[in-house]
Structure 1
Amino acid sequence: MPTQEQILHTLKEYFGYDSFRPLQEDIVDSVFNRNDNMVIMPTGGGKSICYQLPALLLPGITLVISPLIALMKDQVDGLRANGVQAAFVNSSQNEKEQQEIYQQILDKDIKLLYVAPESLSFLDVMLSQIEISLIAIDEAHCISAWGHDFRPAYTQLGYLKNRFPDTPIIALTATADKATRRDICEQLNIPNAKQFLASFDRKNLSLEVRPGNKRIEQIINFLKDKPNDAGIIYCLSRKTTEMLAEKLQVQGFIAEAYHAGINHEKRAEVQEGFINDNVQIVCATIAFGMGIDKSNVRWVIHYNLPKNIEGYYQEIGRAGRDGLPSSTLLFHSYADVVQLQKFATTSGNQEVQMAKLDRMKQYADSLSCRRKILLSYFGELIEEDCGNCDVCKNPPSFIDGTIIAQKALSTVVRIKEEEPIGTVIDVLRGAQNAVVLDKGYQNLKTYGIANDISWKDWQQYIIQLINQGYLEIAFHLNNKLKLTSLSKKVLFEGEKVSLANLAEFDKLKETAAEQVKKVTANTLFDKLRALRLELAKEAGIPAYQIFNDASLKEMEKSRPMSDDEFMQISGVGKLKMQNYGYQFIKAIIDFSAEKTNKKKKSNKNKGNSYKETLNLYKQGLSIEEIGQERKLAQSTIFSHIMKLYNDGEDIDLKQFVSKEDINSVKKAKETLNNPDTLKPYFEHFEQAMDYNTIKLALAILNQEKIT
């Protein structure tokens, strides 16, 4: 067991961080205590460090099972950039390359070995010749049929615990509900694994859902405010990805399609382009993104409704992994639901998949805080609304739903949490169907206590209670409704419940797209980003593997100008300081000096520029003539004249506007009741009089009024 000092020193030296994120330290300690571990940590939460750091301090090798070739390559490249000895073995390599890696492993020159589950059998002989200190199973949800991304190749991994009984196993995934978590541990033969469930709350992601009409037009408007930001658009069909990429290319965006029907070379080219910031937008099926550790994805759009909340949450989690504000947008339509229902009927777990699709649809239709819904789905209950989703920003009207909630929760208690939504509603409304009568539910105290509320409205109210975390659906138990820790507060502690007014349920909620400030090309952040891209191309690695956007933002804010100051930046480790510190510090110093000089020069030039315009005016030149003489636009000369006039210079504005125009503006001023802006005048004259003339006339009229 290494000391705390050794652990923190390793964290800073190789990963550039001074401290752990929540749960990371507990997980690392548990690994060193040789426990098996089940880690649920959302995308961008720092799962990898939980096994990569112990790997550096454990005596033998750490075996990492990873599902995608791209994910292995990306993680190994990132580790090597940090000075960590890592390698991968998969089908993309020839026999000679693999033999070289085997020799490095036998020579103890490798600390982390990434392999695909399909490759394990080929490594069997070698694995018996080396010391395996830790086994990490990434994307562990792939082992469970309850999960959203089941992969048969993962089901063989249960033998690892039998083969290496004394080696701790750490299973990691970003998304898994209760049923999936339980199934993962059982299949991996680690039933006593310590469970670590990190918060799923990604506060930096804004959540928005819109009806799926005029999607392309809405997407183009959404992107206009994000000219330099990278993002992913997920689509249901291959055809849609190609159509959408073409439409965006016509609009001037650097967009590419990505799906399984495109040949391997082209897919690799698109992925590399996106990783290296040469492709701004990827229009993809769900096959894209799982293997990419790109930290500066600023937005994710779902062109179609996803098939379940796990997949949706994992996909939006690819935005804002550096912790900076990022946007997510989901479109949905009835046609999407029909298509997804067809897919679900052909799946191996039809009933569960249909129930999860219903839950996804309920999320899209919801009038409750969207973050509350996502968090409660994964078993994390919060009481306050998030304030960063479209429902919170444009909330519906609410009714006091406490009695409605108490009736529903009491019924769930009395039927012993053994029935799905439909049966609960039947009991509340006093139905006399076979299920109710055969099980004796007509004898319950709550039978028929709410038959004044329609079946459809009851369905919506219960969905809201699920969305707010007062109930949950047990998908692995035939979709039975279960109480949560919040239920007791309503039943026994007098907690009030607000429910959305159902009169608003069918009303389309039109939300104004949040205006995101455009990135200009003259900020220090952009200079550092350009330097990062240049260095990345030289090194042949993705730009974010040098420093992520969050590190660049911190550099922009604190402006380190010495080695010691630069080492204080989060994400700067020993090797990165040695490799890149000089270039970034120089760029920061140069930028600061350039800004200072520009400011001095600008102030001086402004003063000189106004004087030149004043001198030419005094020579009797018109605005047009001054513009020609100075090679400046007339609008610029006009702004000079107005500035000089307002500063008290002897300027006769009447020589720039006719008497007739002044009188016309005077009449318009009276007719329009003296408006505060110029636009009403411009519209009054039906665009026949320009803004500058109107502005001059008003200045003259105001001066005459004063005198």
Structure 2
Amino acid sequence: MIPDPLPTLSRVFGFPAFRGVQEDVVARVLAGERTLGVMPTGAGKSLCYQLPSVMLEGTCVVVSPLIALMHDQLRAAEAVGIRAATLTSADQNRAESIARFRAGELDLLYIAPERASTGHFRELLASAPLSLFAIDEAHCVSEWGHDFRPDYRLLAPLMDAFPDVPRLALTATADAHTRSDILQQLGIPQDGLIVSGFDRPNIRYAISPKANTTKQIADVIAATPGPGIVYAQTRAATEKLAEALGRSGRPTRAYHAGLDPHIRQKNQADFVASEDMVICATVAFGMGIDKPDVRFVAHAGLPKSIEAYYQETGRAGRDGDPAVAHLFWGAEDFARARQRIGEVEPDRQAGERTRLAALGALVETAGCRRRILLKHFGEDRHEDCGNCDNCLGSPDAVDATETARKFLSAVFRTGQLFGVGYVEQVLLGQSTERSVDRGHESLSVWGIVDGEEAALVKPVARALLLRDALRTNAHGGLEFGPAARPILKEDARVMLVLPPKRARGGRKRDAGVAANPADNPLFEALRTCRRDLAKEAGVPPYVIFHDSVLREMAAQRPDSRAALMHLSGIGARKLEAYGDAFLQVIRDAG
């Protein structure tokens, strides 16, 4: 008979009920079944193995891809009273952890796939009882996934050596093809697949063409209180952005693989512990961060795919409070992406082009962004979300086919040798020394764009580059791509999305971001108490309690431990460790 998990859920984690598909996943694990859970970031994937680890005899072995992620999860597990340890190259207490494991004194043991696949580790596993194998970030096992890690392919033989131990794979990011591959690679039956909805309704999606990217991101930061991540495409860009954005007064750090390891680790630790820091990073940053209170993610360029975009933006708002994801893109991003596609193996190029086209559809749409995002993962949604820039701003869609044909004609008649700026000058009839020397002022396309149409030239050029109607050559000149001919022959239309004009005035705080109840001084007093306790314990503030717990405290003003226990997110261990300190703050506030 499968034991009832609800009493343990309440006692250890402080939750009165499961969320989403957690209950279905936990039930299969407790029944000894093999399971793949596909659940969005913030849906509580880690609870699906942490809860069984407390209820089952033996140790749950968790395979996780990054040391930083393991250490974050270790802190969170220990905070609720789970006996946990990690075996990584960064640990000084490996001998102690191995001894605890062999003695049956661990509920959870975290390990990286590279170490898990060794013969020595397999021998270690044979020396102690096991309750469960949990494979976190399971999309890494699939070549179709966006973060393929070859060592994940060696996990199935390891688990096959212990056939009676149930296995649980978890990921937030897997389309149908990747899900099928994960099931096959990890030996999980088709009926073991549990897919939650992919929607993250608390995230507000916004996508804008690049203008002045640094200023655009600075505006996002100014409008959005709380911690944030800015993703840049190069190491140099992360440092440049961090320096520029830091002038606003908000604490800002850079993070990339080229930094001195001590600086990189300190920057990451400072960000994890902070309640308002911005970190400018390459996309490697984030998978290893279990920080629930990130209030915004900004992309200073195009992500690799919709899967990557979904995972990277999913690092915002993991605590369920409102958050913002803002992507800034340029035509040059698509041009570079096409060049990269040409460098991969021929059998992968078609799939990469499909991924790029999906990104193009996402950035170009005048409709609901969330509907396109969810459809990519096989989830049809018939109503608009009401929480993306297009749903909130009603952009105009303009048929710019005629302007596009004029632009293509100008590219052709100037010899497919010049960049966007010069072609624009020709179309607008702006005389330069070069146009005189080349004789271009006598061309039929000279000065054929004027009036209101002139405002369409730059967005048309961007759209033509995005659609592969134009490409840039090695010298920066424009030349025709395969999509040019249908536009010139009027077999294809070019629709432009023009975002609504912003009203003049000062910056406004983003309405989509969780506002701290500033009119309630008790909330700020509770945050101060949490900050002090976190510093004393050497953990990030969110490990003590999330903001949502403090807001509930401030609203309900519990006056006893028993009353505190009724708040969601306060289990027995946290009540014992921190309850009296917060009750004193409430009493002092009167």
TM-score, length of structure 1 as denominator length: 0.66
Q: In the alignment, what sits opposite 2:94? A: 98
CA distance in 2, matches of 1:585, 1:188: 48
- Match of residue 328, structure 1, among 325, 329, 334: 325
Q: Is 1:376 equivalent to 2:370 in the alignment?
A: no
Question: Any conservation in 1 of the 2:393–2:499 contact (CA below 8 Å)?
Answer: no
Q: Distance in 2 between matches of 1:396 and 1:225?
A: 21
Structure 1, residues 457-495: CA drift from partner, whole Å, max 9, x if none?
xxx9xx9xxxxxxxxxxxxxxxxxxxxxxxxxxxxxxxx
| Secondary structure at 2:498 match in 1 | coil
Aligned residue in 2 for 1:672: none
1:587 match: secondary structure: helix
Do structure 1's residue 289 and structure 2's residue 286 form an aligned pair? yes
Q: Which residue number in structure 1 is paired with residue 571 of structure 2?
A: 573
Q: Tell me: CA distance 1:514–1:181, structure 2 relative to 1, closer, same or farther (3 Å).
A: farther
Contiguous gaps of at least 5 residues in structure 1: 400-459, 464-501, 594-707
Shift of 1:3: 2.8
Q: Which residue of 2 aligns with 1:358?
A: 357
In 1, Cα distance between the equivalents of 2:51 and 2:584? Answer: 31
Deviation of 1:503 (Å): 7.5
CA drift of 1:278 comes to: 6.6
CA–CA distance in structure 1, aligned partners of residues 301 and 25 of structure 2: 37
Aligned to 2:366: 367
Whole-Å separation in 2 of the counterparts to 1:188 and 1:2: 24
Contact 1:185 1:193 in 2 (8 A): no
Quote the offset at 1:509 in angstroms. 4.7
* Between 120-129 and 378-387, the greater mean CA deviation after superposition: 120-129
Q: What residue number does 2:272 align with?
A: 275
Deviation readout 1:426-465 (Å, 9 max, x if unpaired): xxxxxxxxxxxxxxxxxxxxxxxxxxxxxxxxxx9xx9xx
Q: Given the alignment of the two structures, is residue 22 of structure 1 paired with residue 20 of structure 2, yes or no?
A: yes
Q: Is the 8 A contact 1:276 1:533 kept in 2?
A: no
The Cα shift of 1:587 comes to 1.2
- Name the aligned partner's letter for residue 61 of structure 2: L
Question: How far has the Cα of 1:521 moved from its partner?
Answer: 9.0
SS of residue in 2 equivalent to 1:505: strand
Residue matched to 1:298: 295
Residue equivalent to 2:242:
245
Aligned residues of 1:230 and 1:297 also touching (Cα < 8 A) = yes
Paired position in structure 2 for 1:184:
182
Contact 2:302 2:333 (C-alpha < 8 Å) held by counterparts: yes
Q: CA deviation at 1:60?
A: 1.2
Greater helix content: 1
The answer as to 2:115 corresponding to 1:119 is yes
1:309 is aligned to 306
The residue type paired with residue 168 of structure 1 is: P
Letter matched to residue 339 of structure 2: K
- State how far apart, in whole Å, the 2-side matches of 1:345 and 1:514 are: 43
Cα distance in 2 between the residues matched to 1:93 and 1:515? 42
Cα distance between partner residues in 2 of 1:268 and 1:505: 44
Query: Given that residues 270 and 279 in structure 1 are in contact (C-alpha distance below 8 angstroms), is that contact kept between their aligned partners in structure 2?
Result: no
1:532 and 2:530 correspond: yes
Matches within 5 A, 1:491-502: none
What amino acid sits opposite 1:115 in the alignment?
Answer: I
Deviation of the 1:162 alpha carbon: 2.1
Asked if the contact 2:256–2:285 (Cα under 8 Å) also holds between the matched residues in 1, the reply is yes
The amino acid that maps onto 1:367 is: A
- 3-state SS of 1:17 partner: coil
Distance between the aligned counterparts of 1:103 and 1:137, measured in 2? 23
Distance 2:247 2:96 in 1: 47
Q: Is 2:507 the partner of 1:507?
A: no
Q: CA deviation at 1:354?
A: 2.6
Distance 1:538 1:200, change over 3 A: same
AA at the equivalent of 1:262: L
> Which residue in 2 is equivalent to 1:392?
391
What SS class does the counterpart of residue 288 from structure 1 fall into? Answer: coil
CA drift of 1:504 comes to 5.4
**Aligned match of 2:3:** 3
Look up the match of 1:109: 105
Check conservation: 1:258, 1:284, Cα contact below 8 A.
yes
Match of 2:227 among 215, 222, 230: 230
Give me the whole-angstrom Cα distance separating, in 1, the residues matched to 2:291 and 2:283.
Answer: 16
The one-letter amino acid of 1:157's match is L
**Following the alignment from structure 2 to structure 1, what is the Cα–Cα distance between the partners of residues 520 and 243?**
30
Offset of 1:357 from its aligned partner?
1.8
Alpha-carbon distance in 1 for matches of 2:175, 2:91: 36
What's the secondary structure of 2:295's corresponding residue?
strand
1:182-231 alpha-carbon deviations (Å, 9 max, x no partner): 001111122345111111111111111111111111222222233x4110
Deviation string 1:536-571 (CA, Å, 9 cap, x unpaired) is 010011111100122122222222222122111111
CA contact (8 A) 1:72 1:114 kept: yes
Determine the C-alpha separation between the residues in 2 that align with 1:109 and 1:362: 52
> Match of 2:44?
46
State the distance in 2 between where 1:360 and 1:503 align.
Answer: 17
Map Cα deviations across residues 328-375 of structure 1 (whole Å, 9 max, x no partner): 111011111122233333445333223212211210111120111111
Structure-2 residue corresponding to 1:523: 521
What is the alpha-carbon distance in structure 2 between the residues aligned to residue 174 and residue 271 of structure 1? 23
Is 2:299 the counterpart of 1:319? no
Q: Deviations over 1:364-423 (max 9, x none)?
A: 111120111111111111111001111111225689xxxxxxxxxxxxxxxxxxxxxxxx
The 2-side partners of 1:362 and 1:386 are apart by 17
Inter-partner Cα distance in structure 2 for 1:292 and 1:143: 20
CA distance in 1, matches of 2:397, 2:223: 33
What is the CA-CA distance between 1:101 and the residue it aligns to? 1.0
Distance of 1:264 and 1:205 partners within structure 2: 32
Match for 1:112: what amino acid?
A: L
Higher relative contact order structure (alpha carbons within 8 Å, sequence separation ≥ 6) = 2
Output the CA distance in 1 between the equivalents of 2:276 and 2:90. Answer: 24
Deviation (angstroms), 1:588: 2.0
The 5 A counterparts of 1:606-685 are none
% identical aligned pairs: 42
3-state SS, counterpart of residue 91 of structure 2: coil
CA separation of 1:183/1:514 partners in 2, compared to 1, >3 Å: closer, same or farther?
Answer: farther
- Equivalenced residue count is 489
CA contact (8 A) 1:210 1:510 kept: no
Name the SS of the counterpart of 1:331 in structure 2: strand
Contact 2:397 2:496 in 1 (8 A): no
Paired residue for 2:66? 68
Alignment match, 1:690: none
Cα distance change, pair 151–589 in 1 and its aligned pair in 2 (3 A): same
**AA of the residue aligned to 1:268:** Q
In 2: Cα distance, 1:542 partner to 1:346 partner:
42
- 1:67–1:139 Cα contact (<8 Å) kept: yes
How far apart are the structure 2 equivalents of 1:278 and 1:205? 19
- Of structures 1 and 2, the larger Rg is shown by 1
Question: Aligned equivalents of 1:24 and 1:540: distance in 2?
Answer: 30
Deviates more, 1:44-53 or 1:127-136: 127-136
CA distance in 1, matches of 2:519, 2:163: 56
Q: Is the 8 A contact 2:396 2:497 kept in 1?
A: no
Secondary structure, aligned partner of 1:386: coil
> What does residue 488 of structure 1 align with?
none
Q: Report if the CA contact (8 A) 1:66-1:138 is conserved.
A: yes
Mind listing any 5+ residue stretches in structure 2 that lack a counterpart? 399-462, 467-492
Counterpart CA distance in 2 for 1:261 and 1:563 is: 48
**Map of 2:31 onto structure 1:** 33
CA distance in 2, matches of 1:70, 1:506: 41
